[in-house]
Amino acid sequence: MTGLRRFGLVAPIAALSLAGCGLNSVPTAEENVNAKWANVQSEYQRRSDLIPNLVETVKGYAKQESTVLAQVTEARANAGRVTLSAEDLDDPAKVRAFNDAQNRLTQAIIPLQRLQEAYPDLKSNTNFLTLQSQIEGTENSILVARRDYNEAVQSYNTRIRTFPDAIGAKIFYGAKPKVPFEAASGAQDAPKVDFNTAG
C-alpha cells in the first residue's frame, strides 16, 4: 500500500516535470509555425494566379512593352520552380532561395503596375484597375502573412532555446531553429521604373 501511495505522489510530480520540458509546447509552437507558413504560401499562390490575368490585360494596351511582360512571366515561372516545404523551414539556404525568387517576382511586377503612367487609357480599364487592386491587396496580405510567420518563428525559436522547454526540444524532438524571412538586399531602395517613353 505504501508503494502505491508513493507512486500516487510521484506520478503527478513526474507528469508536471515532463510537461514543463516542452513535451506539448514545442510541437504546438512548431505547428503554429507550419500554419503561418501555409498562410504565406497561400498568399504567394494567390499573387501567382493573378499575374497572368494582369499580363493579358496589359498586353492589349502596351504591345511594345513586351520586355516588361516577358520579365514578369519569367519571374513568375522561376518563383514557381523554387518550393519550400514546412520541413525545410530550418534550412537557411532553402529559405533564402525561396525568398530571393519571390523578391525577384515582386520587383518584376512593379513596372507592370506602373504602366498606367505611360498608357493613360489603361487607367480607365476596369479589368486593369481591379487586377492591380487585387495584386496590391495580395502584396499587403503577403507582408502580413510573413510578419505573422516571423513572429511564430521567433516564439518557436525562443521556446526551444529556453529552459525548461529546451530539454524536451533537444531530447525528444531534436528541434532546430526555424528560419525567419529577411528583407531582400536593396529593399530599402525604391525601384527605378523606365518605359523608354522619352523621345
The rounded distance, in Å, linking the Cα atoms of 72 and 104 is 9
Per-chain mean pLDDT for the chain: 81
Q: What does the pLDDT look like over 130-156, one tens digit per residue?
A: 888 888 999 999 999 999 999 999 999
17 vs 130, residue with greater confidence: 130
Cis peptide before 111 (omega within 30 of 0): no
The rounded distance, in Å, linking the Cα atoms of 179 and 91 is 7
pLDDT for res 102: 93
The rounded distance, in Å, linking the Cα atoms of 162 and 102 is 33
Residue 105 grid coordinates: 517576382
Structural domains of the chain ordered from first start: 34-142 (1.20.1440.20)
pLDDT band at 64 (very low <50, low <70, confident <90, very high): low
pLDDT for res 193: 43
Tell whether the model's pLDDT for residue 16 goes beyond 60: no
Q: What is the pTM of this model?
A: 0.74
Quick one: residue 160, left, alpha or beta (phi over 0 = left, psi -120 to 50 = alpha)? alpha
Mean pLDDT of 48-72: 80
Of the chain, the percentage scoring pLDDT greater than 90 comes to 46
Instruction: Decide: 132 and 30 in contact? Cβ < 8 Å.
Output: no
Compute the residue count for the chain. 199
Residues 6+ apart with CB under 8 A from 14: none
The rounded distance, in Å, linking the Cα atoms of 45 and 139 is 11
pLDDT for res 75: 92
The rounded distance, in Å, linking the Cα atoms of 161 and 64 is 55
Q: What does the pLDDT look like over 91-117, one tens digit per residue?
A: 999 999 999 999 999 888 888 777 767
pLDDT for res 63: 66
pLDDT for res 178: 96
